[in-house]
């Protein structure tokens, strides 16, 4: 069958009009979706030097600090699915403001500093709640014992502040015989770098 020039031009024109464009040739704004790519999110950077952990030993009405922090926080409030928290603190830096008491806490009966020189934490999940509140769920290891710990963090323009509670006797650190008297409230202070 012989195709005439007018028929050829007609078929060519139809195919050109009906051709589906490549998705990559369409500008993002015309694709019917308004979104930001996850990879465009920026993680917050925290001030390692001025970060600190404080605690209150409830039954003794005693407060203190632990230092020697080495931590890695991968956190963006808009992308909690990819967030992670991990770090260690040196047992030898534990301070309650009483030299003799601090020395006793290093003994084998308590924190056993020589065998277990660090306390470690590693998150398994970060959950976003309303009002810039985040629950960080993970495992804390003290004196070779690992248990789940949930830290509640609040985020503001200057810092990420967290709170958690545990019982030292759950980790073999028996200050008192009764579990309830071994309650420790912990505060985490992570300033945001500018």
Q: What is the mean pLDDT of each run of 10 residues along the chain (194 residues)?
A: 50 46 45 40 87 97 96 95 97 96 96 98 96 97 98 96 98 96 98 90
Nearest to 159 by CA among 131, 188, 125, 136: 188
pLDDT score recorded for residue 42:
72
Token reading at 6: 């007018």
pLDDT score recorded for residue 54:
98
Q: Domain boundaries in the chain?
A: 44-191
pLDDT score recorded for residue 130:
86
State the CATH class of domain 44-191: mainly beta
Is the distance from CB of 87 to CB of 71 less than 8 angstroms?
yes
β-sheet bridge partners, residue 129: 133
CA dist 86 → 93, 101, 182, 183 (Å)? 19, 29, 25, 23
β-sheet bridge partners, residue 153: 134, 162
pLDDT score recorded for residue 115:
98
Q: Quote the CA–CA distance of 29 and 41 in Å, as a whole number.
A: 19
Q: What is the DSSP letter of 26?
A: S
pLDDT score recorded for residue 2:
52
């Amino acid at each position: 069958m012989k195709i005439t020039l007018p028929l050829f031009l007609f078929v060519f024109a139809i195919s050109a009009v009906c051709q589906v464009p490549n998705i990559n040739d369409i500008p993002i704004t015309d694709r019917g979706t308004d979104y930001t790519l996850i990879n465009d999110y920026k993680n917050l950077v925290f001030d390692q030097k001025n970060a600190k952990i404080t605690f209150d030993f409830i039954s003794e009405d005693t407060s203190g600090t632990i230092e020697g922090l080495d931590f890695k926080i991968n956190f963006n409030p808009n992308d909690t699915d990819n967030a992670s928290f991990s770090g260690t603190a040196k047992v030898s830096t534990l301070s309650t403001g009483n030299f003799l008491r601090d020395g006793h806490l290093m003994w084998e009966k308590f924190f056993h500093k020589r065998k277990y020189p660090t306390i470690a934490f590693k998150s398994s999940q970060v959950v976003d709640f309303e009002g810039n509140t985040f629950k960080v769920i993970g495992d804390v290891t003290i004196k070779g014992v690992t248990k789940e710990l949930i830290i509640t963090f609040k985020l503001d323009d200057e810092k990420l502040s967290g709170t958690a509670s545990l019982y030292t006797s759950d980790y073999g650190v028996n200050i008192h015989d009764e579990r309830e008297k071994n309650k420790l409230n912990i505060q985490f202070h992570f300033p945001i770098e500018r």
